[in-house]
Amino acid sequence: MNVLQVRDLVKRHGRKESLVRAVDGVDLDVPAGQMLAVMGPSGCGKSTLLHLMGGLERPTGGQVWLAGERIDTVGERALARLRRRSVGFVFQSFHLVEELTAAENVELPVLLAGGSPRAARRRAQYLLDQVGLDHRARHLPWKLSGGERQRVAVARALANEPLVVLADEPTGNLDTAATNEVLRLFAELRAMGQTLVLVTHDGRVAATADRLISMRDGAFVEDTWLAGHTGHTGRFDGLFAMGD
């Protein structure tokens, strides 16, 4: 089953002489459980592609399908519900709410999706434990290291058991040690069957994926299946089951 599909996807910015084809006629299938990395130079369209697939931007043309449901033509309210229910986002700049603790940041998507405060607390406690930050649950983001903030962001992305996690340069603001922390986390998620799409300029990140797509000028120039990514750490057993 394909979790994500795009057909002849186009995104243009500007008009006439200033027209830019950020995404230019892309076709893509992302099967369930695949970890896909998208690489390319700055301005090649990889982040725009990710935003289109997650419903953060509307395409100029083409189609976007999420779990068999076309999302590029639905209204804003329906699209927001689909994002909350089915897509987890991880950003380079973390995008944590600075006034909320780590636990409250993870609780927020559950509450926005209509979950009870009790269910949100239990889910946050569980996920922060799984990413190794249960002892930092009551800390505000500014008291956390870059790697810790990104792990909170990953936990938040998983709060509503999404069909797919979309990560835009998730290690771009991290040092080597923090990057390794996040890469281990993504590898464990992948081993447990979570579908992931990572946009990156970092070869270390791309090398952890099952598949690597290279982009240039809004189009795919190479699509490569990578070898050697098998194995199961066991650490995330039950990660995608809500606590009772």
Burial category of 158 from C-beta neighbours within 10 Å (exposed 0-12, middle 13-18, buried 19 and up)? buried
Q: What mean pLDDT value characterizes the chain?
A: 89
Q: What is the pTM of this model?
A: 0.89
CATH superfamily of 34-47+76-225: P-loop containing nucleotide triphosphate hydrolases (3.40.50.300)
Distance of alpha carbon 124 from alpha carbon 82, whole angstroms: 21
pLDDT at 11: 95
pLDDT tens readout for residues 92-129? 999 999 999 999 999 999 999 999 999 999 999 999 99
The residue whose two tokens read 């027209």 is 19
Query: Which DSSP string do the residues of 111-131 spell out, in sequence order?
Result: HHTT--HHHHHHHHHHHHHHT
Tens digits of residue pLDDT in 15-59: 776 778 899 999 999 999 999 999 999 889 999 999 999 999 999
pLDDT tens-place string over residues 139-172: 999 999 999 999 999 999 999 999 999 999 999 9
Write down the pLDDT at residue 242.
34
Cα distances from 40 to residues 4, 33, 44, 100, 126, in angstroms, run: 20, 23, 6, 35, 36
In degrees and rounded to multiples of 5, residue 138 shows phi and psi of -95, 5
Cα-Cα-Cα-Cα dihedral sign, residues 65, 77, 91, 181: negative
How does pLDDT run across 219-242, given as a tens digit for each residue? Answer: 999 999 986 544 333 333 334 333
